[in-house]
């Protein structure tokens, strides 16, 4: 069988690999295709397509969009085959999300400063080579400052919801996000549904135009995978999967550790058409 990994991050959001690193690792794992799905940005798509053309590995352009169902945060994987990732309206929406993220970091820096910790926005920005800013970059800045020993400690002490450095931010609704993706010509897939626990909303999401469910994921049990396979079949949704790899973390890289059949790529292309 041919296998793929359709949920991968690079340094253009909160991953540790360059696009070239990602492609080379995918080839080392003998994957037939991959998808780049950085958080709320398509900035990594041009460089990874340039690399993939040279190396000869198939790449599906994509993005992981942060949105919400009521007050619950969920993530949509937008798969944008062909030139659909170049849609100017979708790019404008994602650029707005990027600006919101940057504003949020400024507010978080202020809250951390109020605790007597002199971290700066420039220090947080320095932890992101070229990508979309998020809490992981704030955590890295706190590690470099010596305030905490690990990023996990930074989240536990300062950055999780309810902690003194946490700042909430605007998130579009899933209906809005699905609409943007469909108008661009792409396919919207709900990422790691077992982690979001929004099963009661799946029929509504399907009516809104949701295209699929990510049933294979490193944090899904076999039972959960089968559960969402059945739900997808009942709702007429395609199934996809991926490792959600962010590069090498604690000496381990998750890319390719979830066996996702190549037929998922065919399904995405058919759904986009």
* Range list for CATH 1.10.150.650 in the chain: 95-159
Distances (CA, A) of 220 to 38, 192, 229, 236: 20, 7, 12, 21
Bridge partners of 63, per DSSP, are 78
Express each pLDDT in 160-205 by its tens digit.
999 999 998 889 999 999 999 999 999 999 999 999 989 999 999 9
Distances (CA, A) of 119 to 16, 87, 107, 110, 115: 22, 37, 12, 9, 10
- Supply 52's token pair: 């993939």
Q: What is the pTM of this model?
A: 0.90
Q: Which CATH number fits domain 3-93+173-272: 3.20.20.140, 3.40.190.290, 3.50.50.60, 2.40.50.100?
A: 3.20.20.140
* Range list for CATH 3.20.20.140 in the chain: 3-93+173-272
The CB-side HSE value for 203 (13 A sphere, CA atoms) comes to 2
- Percent of the residues in the chain that have a pLDDT greater than 90, as a whole number: 87
Q: Which residue has the tokens 């400024």?
A: 106
Task: Give the whole-angstrom CA distance, residue 150 versus residue 165.
Answer: 16
CB 236 within 8 A of CB 216: no
CB 184 within 8 A of CB 84: yes
Q: What Rg, from alpha-carbon coordinates, does the chain have?
A: 18
Q: Which CATH number fits domain 95-159: 3.40.50.10310, 3.40.50.10490, 1.20.1070.10, 1.10.150.650?
A: 1.10.150.650
Express each pLDDT in 26-36 by its tens digit.
999 999 999 99
Express each pLDDT in 114-164 by its tens digit.
999 999 999 998 888 766 788 989 999 999 999 999 999 999 999 999 999
């Amino acid at each position: 069988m041919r296998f793929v990994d359709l949920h991968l991050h690079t340094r253009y959001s909160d991953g540790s690999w360059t696009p070239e690193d990602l492609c080379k690792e995918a080839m080392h794992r003998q994957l037939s295709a991959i998808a780049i799905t950085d958080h709320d940005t398509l900035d990594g798509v041009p460089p990874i397509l340039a690399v993939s053309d040279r190396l000869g590995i198939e790449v599906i352009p994509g993005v992981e969009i942060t949105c919400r169902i009521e007050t619950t945060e969920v993530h949509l994987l937008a798969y944008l085959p062909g030139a659909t990732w170049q849609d100017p309206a979708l790019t404008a929406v994602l650029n707005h999300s990027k600006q919101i993220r940057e504003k949020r970091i400024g507010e978080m820096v202020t809250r951390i400063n109020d605790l007597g910790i002199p971290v700066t926005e420039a220090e947080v920005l320095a932890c992101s080579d070229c990508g979309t800013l998020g809490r992981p970059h704030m955590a890295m800045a706190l590690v470099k400052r010596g305030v905490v020993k690990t990023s996990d400690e930074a989240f536990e002490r300062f950055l999780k919801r309810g902690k003194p450095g946490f700042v909430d931010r605007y998130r579009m609704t899933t209906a809005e996000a699905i609409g943007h993706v469909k108008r661009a010509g792409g396919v919207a897939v709900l990422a790691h549904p077992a982690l979001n626990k929004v099963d009661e909303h799946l029929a509504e999401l399907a009516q809104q135009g949701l295209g699929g469910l990510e049933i294979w994921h490193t944090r899904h049990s076999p039972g959960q995978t089968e559960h969402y396979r059945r739900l997808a079949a009942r709702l007429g949704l395609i199934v996809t999967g991926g490792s959600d790899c962010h590069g090498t973390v604690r000496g381990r890289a998750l890319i390719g550790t979830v066996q996702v059949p190549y037929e998922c790529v065919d399904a995405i292309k058919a759904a986009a058409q």
